[in-house]
Amino acid sequence: MPDTIIIALMLVMSIALGWSIGANDAANSLGTAVGSRVISLRQAILLIAVCGFLGAYLQGQYVTKTIGKGIVQLCDLEQAEATRIALVAIFSGCVWVVLATWWKMPVSTSHSIVGAVAGAGLAARVPVDWRILRDIFICWIATPAGAALLGYVLLRFFQWLFPKIVPERFSRPVLTALVVVSGCYVAYSWGANDVANATGLISGAKVMSPLASVALGGLAIVLGIVTWGYKVIDTVGTKITHLLPIMAFAAQFASAINVNVYTLFGIPVSTSHSIVGAIFGVGLVRGIRVVNLAIMKEILICWLATPLVSGVVSYAVYTGAAWIIR
């Protein structure tokens, strides 16, 4: 297959992956605000689209370098080989995220694309940096745990602080504003971290510059948000636990801080893991009985399956394509 066709397919698949990321991960930003009935679904989608794009464009280059160059050194490979690996990984990551979105399950697009890159690299018999994968895996475990702990602590703190500094008659409008602002912060940090999942590979394969790739990815993510983002918002916002406005604020603030710290270190983590962990943490303040453990179990199974399924699909697709064109 001519290289120009492969590059064109890779750009198309990057846009498709960005679209699927926007559709699945839109809930991570303001799903809690919708679930606590602070803002409407339409308002949430608009805010997520704007803030997510700003995060992608202004800070998306940090994690783009890790995805594009860290796991498999695409920049050190021949152009044809690098683009083939990138194309297969993007396709495989996209397939799983679309399926999960159809099931209304918030999964990690970071898990999906990292697993897919490793699978394609193994199939192509090129070096895979297992040390970086190990570090990313550790952060994947720490992300929901850290967000849950931070969410629990912040909610306890805000429950103590708010009655002391905010008069009761102003508590609702103040909390509404804080929920919206913190949700926008989550959307910004999500765009900064997750745009690399869509376009880090085309940057690493030297198809586009890092800045151009994050702009393309940001636009693709926005398209996913406005067309299909409502599906997972329902799960995150209403099915894990019943959220009061102060709980939504604490969960969003905890999740945003969590993800932004990892982004500054260039580590691709899951905003889905972060917000779900934070919601679980604030739910525990009211007791384990108010947390929907059945839906948490389903989410956990999807989390565990994500890198494995994406990696296996990527390995199989690359191997099958290499056999066909041999």
Alpha carbon 293 to chain centroid, angstroms: 22
Rounded mean pLDDT of 97-121? Answer: 87
Query: What confidence category does residue 248 fall into, taking pLDDT thresholds of 50, 70 and 90?
Result: confident
Whether residue 156 has pLDDT greater than 80: yes
With b for 16 or more beta-carbon neighbours within 10 A and e for fewer, the 246-274 pattern comes to bbbbbbbbbbbbbbbebbeebbbbbbbbb
Amino acid sitting at position 267: I
Tell me which DSSP letter residue 202 carries: H
> In 10 A of CB 301, how many CB atoms?
11
Rounded mean pLDDT of 302-306? Answer: 88
Q: Which of 326, 325, 322 is nearest to 124 (CA)?
A: 322
What pLDDT is stored for residue 144 in this prediction? Answer: 92
Given a contact cutoff of 8 angstroms between Cβ atoms, the answer to whether 27 and 106 are in contact is: yes
pTM: 0.78
What pLDDT is stored for residue 147 in this prediction? Answer: 95
Q: Which of 195, 191, 188, 189 is nearest to 210 (CA)?
A: 195
Amino acid sitting at position 9: L
DSSP letters of 64-90? HHIIIIISS-GGGS-HHHHHHHHHHHH
CA distance 282 to 69: 37
Amino acid sitting at position 176: T
* Cα separations in angstroms, 98 against 217, 231, 263, 286, 321: 16, 11, 24, 34, 22
Q: Which of 222, 221, 200 is nearest to 60 (CA)?
A: 200
Query: What confidence category does residue 278 fall into, taking pLDDT thresholds of 50, 70 and 90?
Result: very high
pLDDT in tens, 185-237: 888 888 887 776 677 677 777 778 777 877 888 888 888 888 887 777 777 76
What average pLDDT does the chain have? 83
CA distance 20 to 11: 14
Instruction: Please name the residue that has the structure tokens 């893991």.
Output: 273
Rounded mean pLDDT of 278-290? Answer: 87
Tell me which DSSP letter residue 215 carries: H
Alpha carbon 301 to chain centroid, angstroms: 17
Q: Taking CA 270 as the corner, what is the angle to CA 265 and CA 276, rounded to the nearest 5 degrees?
A: 130
Phi and psi at residue 221, in whole multiples of 5°?
Answer: -65, -45
> In 10 A of CB 297, how many CB atoms?
10
> In 10 A of CB 54, how many CB atoms?
17
Select the more confidently predicted residue: 27 or 264: 264
